[in-house]
Amino acid sequence: MTRSATVERNTKETQISLTLNLDGTGRANVATGFGFLDHMIGSLVFHGRLDLDLSVQGDGHIDDHHTVEDTALALGAAIDQALGDRAGIARFGHAYAPLDEALARAVIDLSGRPWPAVDLGLKREMLGTVACENLSHFFNSLALAGRLCLHVDVLKGDNDHHRAEAAFKAVALALRAAVRADGTSVPSTKGTLV
């Protein structure tokens, strides 16, 4: 059984079409209009072994905020839909990912209770045409829409590109572990999530 979802999100700020397969091969077809965001999402998809088709038309003439936020909301919604009742998943995932001098840690609980705790420690204002503050906002929005508890910390690193990419890779690896098939029951002592 393929765990997949299709999400269409249309607002006055963005038009998003997204198809996600949690049991993919790492294939990313991503076009957000922001090269650095495409690069980060591509890394998330590849290392998470997801398949993603994502097309975004946004108000990039204003700035990157709405595109980054709405893309994360759509991706989170697709993860939530693809997980269904979340029975049979490992639920928890954690990972460290280095990129040269940078080291990031991500811990995920697919509990159905959204909670983002994100500290990327980025110092630059922009990476490419994406505001660094919006990269943290991406993870916050992903956690809220995906109904997942997400802790992301960049533990060290001097280069902000490396810090950001290590964070996306760590999240990818933790998500890959958490969505892994692991039995048939709901992974909670309560018998239900949330």
DSSP per residue over 57-118, as a string?
A: EE-TTT-SHHHHHHHHHHHHHHHHHHHTT-TTB--EEEEEEEETTEEEEEEEE-SS--EEEE
Closest CA to 53 of 94, 87, 4, 111: 4
How far is the CA of 26 from the CAs of 33, 48, 154, in angstroms? 21, 7, 23
pLDDT at 182: 86
Distance from chain centroid for Cα 1: 22
What's the pTM? 0.95
In three-state secondary structure terms, 185 is coil
- Averaged confidence pLDDT in the chain: 95
The confidence band for 139, taking pLDDT boundaries of 50, 70 and 90, is very high
**Residue range 71-100, pLDDT digits in tens:** 999 999 999 999 999 999 999 999 999 999
Q: Which homologous superfamily is 4-178 in?
A: Imidazole glycerol phosphate dehydratase; domain 1 (3.30.230.40)
The answer to whether 89 and 110 have CB atoms below 8 angstroms apart is yes
The answer to whether 70 and 58 have CB atoms below 8 angstroms apart is yes
Distance from chain centroid for Cα 62: 24
* Residue 190 reports pLDDT greater than 70: no
pLDDT at 174: 98
